[in-house]
Structure 1
Amino acid sequence: MPRGPVRARSRLRRTPVPLVLAAAVAALTLLPLVYIVVSTVDVGWSGIRELVFRPRVGELLWNTARLVGGTVLLCAALGVGAAWLVERTALPGRRTWHVLLVAPLAVPAFVTSYAWISVLPGLDTYAGALLVVTLSYFPFVYLPVVAAFRGLDPALEETARGLGLSGWAVFRRVQLPQLRVALLGGSLLVALHVLAEFGALQMLRYATFTTAIYDQYRATFNGPGATTLAGVLVLLCLALLLAELRLRGRHGYARTGAGVARTGRPVRLGALTLPSLLALAVLVGLSLVVPLGSLGTWLVCGSSTDLEVGALVTTTGTTLGLAAAAAAVTTAMALPTGWLAVRARGRLTTLLERSTYLGSSVPAIVIALALVTIAIDVTPWVYQTVPVLLAAYAILFLPRAIVPVRSAVEQSPRLYDDVAASLGSSAPDRLRRVTLPLLAPGIGAGAALVFLAVVTELTATLLLAPTGTTTLATAFWSASSALEYGAAAPYAVVMVLLSAPATVLLSHDARRGLTT
């Protein structure tokens, strides 16, 4: 038998507690998928046929598919084009443009939708929905592509130019194939976000599966119709995941050696400098200046701005408390999975880790629907309580904690733990005095990412928050749904301010590789 599996089994036998905890975490994250499968079986084939094969579902499928397809294409074009200008050309102010192109991630999509619909009330069309979600999500393509551009070997491009290829031919035949993994990964993120988007599309009155599930749930309180629609939505998500894996392929474009650490010569834009600057200015203006300008206008001039400061402070405190609790719980849940994925690497631990990613790819509306049903049918005493809401946050955002925790485990030497054990230190003592201090940076990064995600989470909070519990997102949603745009603005401003650190973190590493 190969040594790898033997060593993995040996390590798992020595670490039964982390294994049990990681299995419990994986079971929780897969709970919504199990719920969908069981509920679908209960409905039966005749019920499924009656609920799925009807004109309304066909309309939702068309609306969702064309929105996802259009958004992915536009985000890919904008992300790749902006990344090429910032990373590969001698564009003036590249570092500033980079930060501005990442900054739209600090504005939640439903806030962007609110800003546009309050300025242009007639934007509740397919074109309006396409505009809003594209402006909200194109940074998901821009970020990985700009990082991929930085890692390309300039020698390949120089060789291609030496063979007489034009600039466009070099991009199409040399650069673009090497960007495929980054482009597909970013496009997958965009597609999954659009499938899961609720607030922005509900505000624009653009019907998709997510908005229909919410309306069905509110109308029939988790009837078979909502469950069936949720099953179709999950199938769409799984189809996207499989398509991305298939399109990515197995070809690699990494260098075979370290080579010479140098960057390619920036392309001189010449007469295209001014049009390029204008194009980026329009993109930043539409995605950032319009939402922030609209917020400022409604905050100062809105007729419904009579907001009690005490209400804003209380709501902010509630949001920060829930975000802090979710960050602590989710990071604690990520520890055994991240630790086992490195220290006891094997098929079982890899399966447990990937299960958390699969569970988190399920839209928030489906996770909330599953937890509501399970809470009512199995544990009614926890229905509409904080633990259920924290469980939803954990399922949604667990990968954001696992990735940095696993990275920290990779970088912490096993030797220190072995030495402490040889000196007679118990397992809990080693955890407290050796393991946790070494993993502190990864734990902190994961907790920060979860914290910032919870601050702007809307869909699960709307369905699962205890009665009387109001967060910044739900308070904003209530005011904007009542067309009280001035009253909604302060909550949106606080959310943007709390989300801004995430933008700084995302742009920090890339900024170091750019020159003005």
Structure 2
Amino acid sequence: MSDAVSAGPPVVTPPPARAHSRAPRGLFAAATLSALLVLLPIAFTFWRAASFGIAEAVDLIVRPLVGELLVNTLLIAVSTTLVCAVIGTAAAWFVERTHLPGRRAWAVLTAAPLAMPAFISSYAWVSLSLDLQDFAGALLVLTSAYFPLVYLPVAAALRGMDPALEESARALGCNRWATFTRVVLPQLRPALLGGMLLVALGVLSEFGAFTLLRFRTFTTQIYAEYRTSFDGGGASLLACLLIVICLVVLAFEFRVRGAARYERVDRGTRRAVLRYDLGAWRWIVVAGFAALAIATLGVPLGMVGYWLTQPGAAAVTPADVSPELLFDATISSLGFGLAAAALTTLLVLPLAFLLVRYPTRFATLFERTVFLAQGIPGLVIALAIVSLAVHALQPLYQSTTLLIIAYAILFMPVALVSVRAALLQAQPRLEETARALGLGWSQTVFRVLLPLAGPGLGAAAAMVFISVVTELNATLLLAPIDTQTLATQVWADTSTMAFAAAAPYAALLTGISLFASGLLFALLGKSALLGERG
């Protein structure tokens, strides 16, 4: 035994599994900071609301206005979520399960509206017809902006399903509809419910589109209360009601989804996806996809192009475009986006590493705390940060630093998903080998870990950049005086019906968003390729 060992290469004994070792104090402290940043504005919102007396709070809540806001908010959220679920699921099934002519082109065009901010779509539709400033207009605009949130996960789930399930159902005598409802749809439940959750939370958090569409919801009233009383507790009390609604939605989605398991048990050769022939319905389905593309992309891009060719006097409210303001707004949007992308990625990196390499109850608690930001409207968090700055962080009030921190709090959940996935693809054995060969901790991180996780980190930064460039709520409340971004300028000009003046800002914002989205998809593809090689 000793001879055999001495004759071979030296054996490196791997360190104990990190799941059972303690995380470095610095790593734990950095992860704690990320969680506290998210928790602070939420806790402050409830603290401000608690400043109301019980009688005063009841008088504020039982007003007829609050009842109207509740009905409008719930009605538009439920309606948009259901319509997006139907359109997104149908589009995914036709793209992934049928011989649809131009299938690849329709797949791209169906996902592309995700890069079009809802308030840009509302700007386009309102400038086309002021008659759309009602519930029907809000439903049209929000559906066209949010349905890709259902389409993308459902399409991915359809691609990953085992076609043997459908073949068995057909062999047992089920027709296409029975096969879909009894076999396919139950398998799509996690993806479908997850997409519907994102749509519902997005609608509950929406502000810019509702303002331009003159549709009153909790977010528009919270902003109005803030503008009226500035640091009053009324806005915080309404914000607490909206937070409760969002948390109820989260709990309902978790309850409906249940604890069922849907993963494939076998790991055999991947079989070809089963596709159906559309027959006489082929061109009707193509016409439906064309109408969807026109409504979601054609009208917004077409109206932006139209107003670009019109002089400022052609709008309802005449206004001229200042080249200097256009340049400054573009630089501000790009600068805020890059700074927030860098800060957010850095903040979630320790937490993601803690989750992947040192999984503990504390790590899970930090993760769930960060994901609270996904379920809390951005306007609520921004309002809390404003009040917090006024009361305790006066030097940071109306500063760029505070705005960048607010962006990081809002979009940490977005970055955490990609960063954690990237670190999961980096095999721990490579880090252990590097340490065994004499590399220090910092050298291992920069020479082994970061290159492996690079595409995923880039994807996280790109997603945050897109979110920040198109963000409106926090920017309106927290941007320093006389600082404009492309998003706030579109909102300001459209609010005064200066559609021609808003067009250059909308065009630049759309172009930046589409370019960053293309870069994001490229990074995600590269990350997936590296994961397969690993």
TM-score bracket for this pair, using the shorter chain length: over 0.9
Q: Which of 130, 140, 163 pairs up with 1:121? A: 130
Alignment correspondent of 1:252: 261
* Matched residue, 1:389: 403
Q: Residue 74 of structure 2: which of 59, 65, 75 is its match?
A: 65
Aligned amino acid, residue 159 of structure 1? S
Displacement of 1:503 in angstroms is 4.0
Counterpart of 2:7?
Answer: none
Give a deviation string over 1:206-245, Cα, whole Å, max 9, x none. Answer: 0000000001100110312111100000001101110110
Q: Which residue, out of 315, 340, 360, partners 2:354? A: 340
The CA distance in 2 between the partners of 1:331 and 1:506, in whole Å, is: 15
Instruction: Give aligned pairs, total.
Output: 505
CA deviations on 1:163-205 (whole Å, 9 max, x unpaired) are 1111111111011101111110000000000000000000111
Task: Report the Cα distance in structure 1 between the residues aligned to 2:291 and 2:327, rounded to whole angstroms.
Answer: 35
Residue of structure 1 equivalent to 2:414: 400
Mapped contact 1:75–1:187 kept (Cα < 8 A): yes
* Structure 1 gap ranges (5+): none
Q: Distance in 1 between matches of 2:492 and 2:375?
A: 27
Q: CA contact under 8 A between 2:462 and 2:519: conserved in structure 1?
A: no
Range 39-48 or range 350-359, more displaced:
39-48
Superposition pairs of residues 80-95 of structure 1, within 5 angstroms: 80-95=89-104
The answer as to whether partners of 2:18 and 2:357 remain within 8 angstroms in 1 is: no
How much has 1:507 moved relative to structure 2?
A: 6.2
Match of 1:362 in 2: 376
**In structure 2, what is the Cα distance between the partners aligned to 1:179 and 1:6?**
35
Q: How does 1:18-417 map onto structure 2 within 5 Å? A: 18-304=27-313, 306-417=320-431
1:393 is displaced (CA, Å) by 0.4
Partner AA of 1:11 in structure 2:
R
| Higher mean C-alpha deviation, range 428-437 or range 126-135 | 428-437
What fraction of aligned residue pairs are identical, expressed as a percent? 48
Q: Which amino acid aligns with 1:46?
A: A
Distance 1:19 1:132, change over 3 A: same
Q: Counterparts of 1:350 and 1:289 in 2: how far apart (Å)?
A: 43
Contiguous gaps of at least 5 residues in structure 2 = 1-15, 314-318, 529-534
> What are the superposed Cα offsets for residues 314-352 of structure 1, whole Å, 9 maximum, x if unpaired?
211111111111111111101100110111011111111
Comparing 254-263 and 217-226, the one that deviates more? 254-263
- Paired residue type of 2:256: L
Return the alpha-carbon distance in structure 1 between the equivalents of residues 467 and 129 of structure 2. Answer: 28
Given that 1:98 and 1:507 are in contact with CA atoms closer than 8 Å, whether structure 2 keeps it comes out as no
CA contact (8 A) 1:32 1:359 kept: no
Q: Give 1:466 deviation, angstroms.
A: 0.5
Q: Which amino acid aligns with 1:244?
A: E
Q: Shift of the alpha carbon at 1:425?
A: 4.4
Aligned to 1:457: 471
Deviation string 1:100-142 (CA, Å, 9 cap, x unpaired) is 1111112110010010011111111111111111111111101
TM-score, structure 2 as length reference: 0.91
In the TM superposition, 1:461-500 aligns within 5 A as 461-500=475-514
For the 8 Å contact 2:49–2:234, the answer to whether it is kept is no
Aligned: 1:11 with 2:22 = yes
SS at match of 2:184: helix
Render the CA deviation track for 1:457-490: whole Å, top value 9, x for unaligned. 1110000001111111111111111211111011
Aligned-residue RMSD, C-alpha = 1.9
* Corresponding letter in the other structure for 1:476: V
Change (3 A) 1:265 1:412: closer
**Structure 1 residue 297, shift from structure 2 partner:** 0.3
3-state SS of the aligned residue for 1:42?
coil
The one-letter code sitting in structure 2 at the alignment partner of 1:151 is G
